[in-house]
Amino acid sequence: MHGRAFCAAAQPAISLHPGTAPMNVMTAPPRLPSASGLSRPSRAEAEEAVRTLLRWTGDDPGREGLVDTPARVVRAYEEFFAGYEVDPVALLERTFEETDGYDEIVLLRDIRLESHCEHHMVPIIGRAHVAYLPHRRVVGISKLARVAEAYAKRLQIQEKLTAQIANTIQSVLQPKGVAVIIEAAHQCMTTRGVHKAGVTMVTSRMLGTFRTDPAARQELLTMIGRNG
């Protein structure tokens, strides 16, 4: 499970950008005032940029069907990239210690995942499985999904997304182990480039017991249904 399916579209670009390798989530930049230190453009400037792209496609931004498109696109971007406004660490800070000693796998399976590839800004659609082995405390199960969403709603590569979710849970919750598996289709690969429809990319990040203990890892994969 440490291996991953081949993504022909993404791999060359990744090798050109070693800085996009899995990073410690604690260094993930907040958006405000801005992730890069650059000032954010105004909404009007963002809409004008969309008008420029519309002209670039060869269409007329002034025609009836497109006149409101820049405003719609900018509003859609607010949804697509809402994760920059969310602090994933804060999502995990409330924990529960009355677990009666529960120390088996906690798995949230088949979390719908919607992200955007940072190379082409087109959707990455898939699902995530997030698991951890509690150490004295647990977290509300929905928070695992919200952490995944907070990182997914940013410009991403799947490898980094996988690592960020796992690293955050590990560093904040400090469980005995964390496992994150993501299976996703990249529209930059299915609708352009090599046009390989139906191909999904699988990434996994195993920490702690899931990394060191093959039996724990096997139990997890069985629970997920990927032990074949």
Least distance (Å) between residue 160 CB and Zn ion: 13
Active site annotation includes 156: no
Residue 130 binds to Zn ion (criterion: CB under 5 A): no
Q: How far is CA 170 from CA 38, 58, 81, 182, 210, in A?
A: 31, 48, 24, 17, 12
Residue 119 binds to Zn ion (criterion: CB under 5 A): yes
Report d(CA 169, CA 223) in Å as an integer.
20
Residue 120 binds to Zn ion (criterion: CB under 5 A): yes
Q: How far is CA 133 from CA 102, 150, 206, in A?
A: 9, 22, 11
Residue 182 binds to Zn ion (criterion: CB under 5 A): no
Residue 160 binds to Zn ion (criterion: CB under 5 A): no
Active site annotation includes 117: yes
Of the pair 191, 227, the CB lying nearest Zn ion is at: 191
**Which entry of 120, 159, 183, 187 is annotated as an active-site residue?**
120
Burial class from Cβ neighbours inside 10 Å (0-12, 13-18, 19+) for residue 203 reads: buried
Active site annotation includes 2: no
Active site annotation includes 120: yes
**Tokens 């410690």 correspond to what residue?**
24
Of the pair 189, 221, the CB lying nearest Zn ion is at: 189
Report d(CA 31, CA 10) in Å as an integer.
25
Q: Provide the annotated active-site residues.
A: 117-120, 158, 186, 188
Name the residues that contact Zn ion, by CB under 5 A: 117, 119-120, 188
